[in-house]
Amino acid sequence: MKTKKSALGRGLSAILESPETDITSKDISGNYVVGAIANIALEKIEANPFQPREHFEETSLRELAASIDEQGVIQPVTVRKLGFDKYQLIAGERRFKAAKLSGLKEIPCFIRVANDEQMLEMALIENIHRRDLNAVEIAISYQRLLEECKITQEKLSERIGKDRSTITNYIRLLKLPPEIQIALREEKISMGHARCLINVEEQDFQLAILEEIINRNLSVRETENIVKEKKISKQKKSDKRSDNLPEKHSEIVTGLKKYLDTRVAIRRNTKGKGSIVISFNSEEDFDRIVSLLGD
């Protein structure tokens, strides 16, 4: 009969179970002391309500469970102490679920103290660094860190070692229609495709291109060309409308285009009512134009 392996991997077990570590540190009540590393019964650990991941791939979980069955849990999960012999998962939910699947009764844990905001921040940052997160999950994690943990983009950039532009590009994905976000999450399209679609203003056209990408298996370059052709066609129509404008309006359009270095259009009806439309290509471009208009 096969003997169940320890929850700890062989190498880690030798270190953590050494008398020099505080793995057996307990307080007067018999609870593990905060800051300790300890094997804790899975039944005493509750799931993290702030877990940013929405989907755990079943096949991948079973593969990890098989690895745990053979090697043990190599990397401890992180928990916070809730009270008497109660703990809550902060990070490592995939390992936690796989350990349950493998039939383990306990799992190695780092024990920390964290209030809800700190707990959310730790869980989000820990998950952001995982390779198996999809782009939408990463974008949601960035957004939650900015909004719920009150972290600025500059501070977040320092925390996770990513450029601010990278963070901005991910967050912009959340402005896409749900159909495109689902396609991205299910890996029917890549982040490169999604970034092309962000630059399309009309939602109907975004969805039409999405369908074309999937049905024709378009590359990112081919998608870029479709978007570019659409913009050129739209610009020609805009220029044609501009040709029918009164001379003073046309002069204003020309001057604004030159000053703002972007597309400008005036839409006007026969009664003299209308609007001025100023285009921008990104958040940075928007900030630049606003700055010029404020001067």
Q: Which of 57, 93, 147, 201 is the catalytic position?
A: 93
Specify the pLDDT at position 27.
44
93 is catalytic: yes
CATH architecture of the domain 10-133 equals Alpha-Beta Complex (3.90)
**pLDDT tens for residues 38-92?**
888 988 888 877 665 656 677 777 888 888 887 777 678 888 877 777 888 887 7
Task: For residue 140, give Cα distances in angstroms to 125, 148, 163, 241.
Answer: 12, 11, 17, 41
Distance CA 194, CA 157 (A): 22
Q: Are 45 and 88 in contact (CB under 8 A)?
A: yes
**Which is more confident, 271 or 278?**
278
Question: Is pLDDT above 80 for 220?
Answer: yes
**pLDDT tens for residues 241-255?**
545 666 777 778 788
Q: Which residues of 52-71 are buried (b: 16+ CB within 10 A; e: fewer)?
A: bbeeeeeeebeebbeebbee
Confidence of residue 155 (pLDDT cuts 50, 70, 90): confident
Q: Are 78 and 110 in contact (CB under 8 A)?
A: yes
Minimal CA–CA distance to 241: which of 250, 251, 229? 250
Specify the pLDDT at position 2.
45
**Which is more confident, 222 or 71?**
222
Flag the least confident range among 63-77, 82-96, 119-133, 281-295. 119-133
Specify the pLDDT at position 221.
93
Task: For residue 44, give Cα distances in angstroms to 31, 82, 105, 110.
Answer: 12, 10, 10, 14
Distance CA 223, CA 74 (A): 43
Question: Is pLDDT above 60 for 119?
Answer: yes
Residues 89, 170, 49: CA angle, nearest 5 degrees: 20
Specify the pLDDT at position 13.
42
Main-chain dihedrals φ then ψ at residue 275, nearest 5 degrees: -150, 155
| Secondary structure, 3-state, the chain | CCCCCCCECHHHHHHHCCCCCCCCCECCCCCECCCCEEEEEHHHEECCCCCCCCCCCHHHHHHHHHHHHHHCECCCEEEEEEECCEEEEEECHHHHHHHHHHCCCEEEEEEECCCHHHHHHHHHHHHHCCCCCCHHHHHHHHHHHHHHCCCCHHHHHHHHCCCHHHHHHHHHHHHCCHHHHHHHHCCCCCHHHHHHHHCCCCHHHHHHHHHHHHHHCCCHHHHHHHHHHHHHHHHHHHHHHHHCCCHHHHHHHHHHHHHHCCCEEEEECCCCCEEEEECCCCHHHHHHHHHHHHC
Domain boundaries, the chain: 10-133, 244-295
Distance CA 68, CA 54 (A): 23
Distance CA 270, CA 276 (A): 15
